[in-house]
Amino acid sequence: MADALQRYRLQPVRSSREWAAYHAIRRDAIFASLLPNQVYDEHDPDEFAPGHFPHLPLRDGEVLGTVRIDLIGKSAAALRLIGIRPDVQRQGHGHALLKLAEEAARARGKAEIVINAHPSSLDFYLANGYRGGEWADRGPIPSGLVRVGKRLPRQNIAQIGGVRGAGSGTVLKPSQTP
């Protein structure tokens, strides 16, 4: 799997084209199927808040999904609105996304990850080492979601140090509005 991960990287959302892809994937993968009664707001201030970093996971340059990494307090990061394009789900891309996002958080000195998961994806997070518990986040658990978290092992970076996008130079730079 380490070799397979070499093909992936996590890229901050910058250009108007990247923002369009980010919003389209979230609409298709998350809002249309899981949150049909919620209106997706491209201009949600949370997207542009300090310490919030919208990202696209890519494999061989192809955009596959979305994740926003929010830095929380001293030691935690939250992964928000994780989604993989519906046409390429269940091919291991979600696993790669988590690995890269965890690595990016670890590179920022974070020791734990929190995710407010839709119940339909809970098994995916459990399969990736996430567990229920008292995980730090900014607010209460959003209605209908389940909070899971994971302590990042100290050796996390060394273990997957070859993954592109891991370095501080390519991830967690401030995003730009479209």
Ligand X SMILES: CC(C)(COP(=O)(O)OP(=O)(O)OC[C@H]1O[C@@H](n2cnc3c(N)ncnc32)[C@H](O)[C@@H]1OP(=O)(O)O)[C@@H](O)C(=O)NCCC(=O)NCCS
Q: Kindly list the residues in this chain that would bind ligand X in the complex (CB under 6 A).
A: 29-30, 34, 82-84, 89-95, 117-118, 120-121, 123-124, 127
Shortest Å distance, C-beta 87 to ligand X = 11
Strand partners, 54: 68
DSSP symbol at 121 = G
d(CA 69, CA 109): 13
81, 66 contact by CB (below 8 A): yes
Shortest Å distance, C-beta 98 to ligand X = 8
Minimal CB distance to ligand X: which residue?
Answer: 94
Of the two residues 83 and 165, which places its CB atom closer to ligand X in the complex? Answer: 83
Of the two residues 54 and 83, which places its CB atom closer to ligand X in the complex? Answer: 83
Burial tier of 74 (Cβ tally within 10 Å: 0-12, 13-18, 19+)? exposed
Shortest Å distance, C-beta 169 to ligand X = 26
